[in-house]
Structures are given as C-alpha cells and as structure tokens.
Amino acid sequence: MLYYISNCEEKKLRLQSLQEMVGLSQSATSRLVVRMEAKECGALHRHMCADDRRGIYTQITEIGESKFQQALETFNQVLQSELRREGLQDEFQSIIQKLF
C-alpha cells in the first residue's frame, strides 16, 4: 500500500484507486488504511476530495515515507544477499530446464 502511494506524483491516491491496485475488497482496504492511519503507526492520512465530497484521498505521511524507505532498503539488502548466494545460479538453471 505504501509502495503505490509513495510512487504517485502527489503522494496520495483515492481510496477506490488504491483498492484496485492492492487487489483487496473495499472493506479490507478501508480497515488496513484505518490501522495504518492510527497513532501507533501514523503512516497514512485520509482526507476528503476537494472536488468530490464523496471521495476520500489516502496520503502517505512523512512517517509513512520513512517506514517505506526503511522497508525498501531491507528488501534490497535481502535481495542482493540472496542473489550473491552460492549455488543460486545452479538453481536458476535447474528451474529454467524444467520450464523448457
């Protein structure tokens, strides 16, 4: 969720668009946003759309951006570590041979 919002130009998405991107139901997306907006997390903030009072924007906060960057760094470190792992090339070749 933070990935999609963080990669938007304005760092915000309509709740309906976010729901479509993450592939969750409307209620599941809303519950997740509420948890990520809570004081314990503080990663997201919701506000009404100025041009459409029925719409809700979900915006990433500075805390959310920081948490996302930390998670991205950890992901990249683990990925790099796994790609350097001995024997990985043999595993890839074995998988490719099974596919073809």
pLDDT at 55: 84
Summarize pLDDT for 15-32 with one digit per residue, the tens: 999 999 999 999 999 999
Domains within the chain, CATH numbers bracketed: 2-99 (1.10.10.10)
pTM of the model: 0.75
Digit-coded pLDDT (tens) for 36-82: 999 889 999 999 888 877 788 999 999 999 999 999 999 999 988 88
Q: Counting beta carbons within 10 angstroms of the beta carbon of residue 98, is it exposed (0 to 12), middle (13 to 18) or buried (19 or more)?
A: exposed
